[in-house]
Chains A and B, each alone.
Chain A
Amino acid sequence: MSGPRTRQTAVTGIGVVAPGGLHADTYWKNVKDGTSVLDRVTREGCEHLPLRVAGEVRGFDPSALIEETFLVQTDKFTHFALAAADAALTDAGLSKSAWEEAPYSVGVVTAAGSGGGEFGQRELQKLWGQGSRFVGPYQSIAWFYAASTGQISIRKGFKGPCSVVASDEAGGLDAVAHAARAVHRGTDVIVVGAAEAPLAPYSGVCQLGYAELSTVEDPARAYRPFTSAACGFVPAEGGAVLVVEDLERARRRDVAVRATVAGHASTFTGASRWDRSREGLAHAIRGALDEAGCAPEEIDVVFADAMGVPEADRAEALALADALGRHGTRVPVTAPKAGIGRSYCGAPLLDIVAAVQAMEHGLIPPTPGVFDICHDIDLVTGTARPAEPRTALVLSRGLMGSNAALILRRGPGSAAR
């Protein structure tokens, strides 16, 4: 997707449903303060699992936000996405009257790592407990990876291009790039995001096979990327949805441009081959820089993937040096997800949100719970660092081997916020 862009993609709306933050503002408060919201897993049916710590979304009441007709046919991962999409549209100043006349001008892209595990478990228990005639028909759509894309578009009446990206955790970044391409090709607005709900018994068991999963019992010690005590990652639920649109269109309707999507690239280096992810990640960073027309020195902050596995952390630190040269050891790096957990495809979306907010507020948030860094990077720890970041690099890797890099630039409308 190189070549001159006739249409630039602006981020004009943000919606968040995250552990410790049911709104973008509360999410940012935790992120900037470096508050960890990791806690013991409290979900029914998960108590006996060796997965002890996670980032749970608490206090989320879907029935207060979403119509019952949508609730009965959707999993929690879609509830999160529907709620975040509503918030993003509101933030972008878009209401039904804005697209009623032109429903084909709005599309939806989501990324998904696992679909609706909790809904699926319930129906499969009916299958084996009572028989196939007791499985509800909504099972056919609720646990599907594409459910959130479909339900957002149906609920809002969007008829523009819809898709779902299933490319591992890094797919969260790929989805945003896909949305930018759709805008580039002529769709005015894309609602893009990812939210996941992996904290349920069946979904929890599925994750136990991941060698990278942290099974540490103490929330303060369970997820410490870039330290010698790194012992794996902590999973989380939730995610974020963005409204992206043609920059000129955003200017015409006089809405604040919170950031622009400048460049992206992704690579694949194989499941849990963290040594190889060094090369894959570096290649993705170079590709994103190339597309953005951005010099390495222009990167003002890096939101790291921060897997929390020594070999993976080393590969990421080295990839930064490989792709950014000496700047790779000087640029501020942060990993808010150390205090939130990784909501799979939702995690890079939450990092995008934090990157936008960091550029808006002139603050680089710290990496919660991390102090003794054992890699040659400038990891921001302790408290937020005042700065004036104009360009942010967001990195993401998946357990199945995807690597992606996305570059965001501060929006011309940011100063007004």
Chain B
Amino acid sequence: MTTEVTQLTYDELAALMKKGAGVTVEPSDLESRADAPFADFGLDSLGLLGIVGELENRHGRALPTDAERCKSPRAFLDLVNGTLTTGA
């Protein structure tokens, strides 16, 4: 548990996808296809919801409800990192 403001990286997102949804994806692949839909990587909506919950627990704060509706890795990272930095 930490309330420190950190940036979510593609590395961390890939690790969360593996842990929460069993999706194996290379961080570099995630980054190079950052605008591809999550579905293309095999992540479904419940999987993304689980990642949102994990991040909220980790950072001890809520993410916007839009977070679980993000369609792509880039959109998700932008939203999450925007929230974590501005809301500090």
| B35 → A minimal CB distance (Å) | 22
Distance, CA A221 to CA B56, complexed state (A) = 53
Of B5-13, B16-24, B26-34, B76-84, the one touching chain A: B16-24
With a CB–CB cut-off of 8 A, which chain A residues contact B46?
A: 73, 137-138, 140-141
Distance, CA A70 to CA B46, complexed state (A) = 12
Interface assignment of B50: CB less than 8 Å from any CB of chain A: yes
Interface assignment of A136: CB less than 8 Å from any CB of chain B: yes
Q: Which of A134, A136, A137, A138 has the most CB of B within 10 A?
A: A137
Interface assignment of A295: CB less than 8 Å from any CB of chain B: no
With a CB–CB cut-off of 8 A, which chain B residues contact A67?
A: 22
| B15 → A minimal CB distance (Å) | 14
With a CB–CB cut-off of 8 A, which chain B residues contact A140?
A: 46
Interface assignment of B37: CB less than 8 Å from any CB of chain A: no
The one of B21, B50, B53, B56 that contacts A69, using a Cβ cutoff of 8 Å: B21
Quick one: CB contact mask for A61-74 with B, threshold 8 Å, 1 for yes? Answer: 00000011111110
Interface of B is mostly: helix
| A45 → B minimal CB distance (Å) | 23
With a CB–CB cut-off of 8 A, which chain A residues contact B21?
A: 69, 72-73
Distance, CA A134 to CA B58, complexed state (A) = 10
| A362 → B minimal CB distance (Å) | 45
Contact A68 B50 (CB under 8 A): no
Interface assignment of A133: CB less than 8 Å from any CB of chain B: yes
The one of B22, B53, B56, B57 that contacts A68, using a Cβ cutoff of 8 Å: B22
With a CB–CB cut-off of 8 A, which chain B residues contact A136?
A: 20, 50, 53
Contact A137 B22 (CB under 8 A): no
| A30 → B minimal CB distance (Å) | 33
Query: When A68-B22, A68-B24, A72-B22 are in contact, do A137 and B57 touch as well, CB less than 8 Å?
Result: no
Within A82-137, the residues touching B (CB, 8 Å) are 133-134, 136-137
Interface assignment of B42: CB less than 8 Å from any CB of chain A: yes
With a CB–CB cut-off of 8 A, which chain B residues contact A72?
A: 20-22
Contact B53 A70 (CB under 8 A): no
Contact A137 B56 (CB under 8 A): no
Interface assignment of B70: CB less than 8 Å from any CB of chain A: no
CB nearest neighbor in B for A68: B22
Distance, CA A69 to CA B17, complexed state (A) = 10
Distance, CA A70 to CA B42, complexed state (A) = 11
Distance, CA A67 to CA B47, complexed state (A) = 15
With a CB–CB cut-off of 8 A, which chain A residues contact B47?
A: 73, 137
Distance, CA A68 to CA B20, complexed state (A) = 10
Distance, CA A141 to CA B57, complexed state (A) = 22
Query: When A73-B46, A138-B46, A138-B50 are in contact, do A133 and B57 touch as well, CB less than 8 Å?
Result: yes
Distance, CA A67 to CA B24, complexed state (A) = 10
| B18 → A minimal CB distance (Å) | 8
| A32 → B minimal CB distance (Å) | 39
| A157 → B minimal CB distance (Å) | 14
Query: When A137-B49, A137-B50, A138-B50 are in contact, do A69 and B57 touch as well, CB less than 8 Å?
Result: no
Within B22-69, the residues touching A (CB, 8 Å) are 22-24, 42, 46-47, 49-50, 53, 56-57
CB nearest neighbor in B for A140: B46
CB nearest neighbor in B for A134: B57
With a CB–CB cut-off of 8 A, which chain B residues contact A133?
A: 53, 56-57
| B44 → A minimal CB distance (Å) | 8
Ranked nearest first, the 6 interchain pairs of A and B with the lowest CB-CB distance are A68-B22, A72-B22, A69-B22, A137-B46, A137-B49, A137-B50
With contacts A72-B22, A136-B50 known, what are 5 further pairs, Cβ within 8 A?
A67-B22, A70-B22, A136-B20, A136-B53, A138-B46
Binding site for B on A (CB under 8 A): 67-73, 133-134, 136-138, 140-141
* 16 A-B pairs with C-beta separation under 8 A: A68-B23, A69-B22, A69-B23, A69-B42, A71-B22, A72-B20, A72-B22, A73-B21, A133-B53, A136-B50, A136-B53, A137-B46, A137-B49, A137-B53, A138-B46, A140-B46
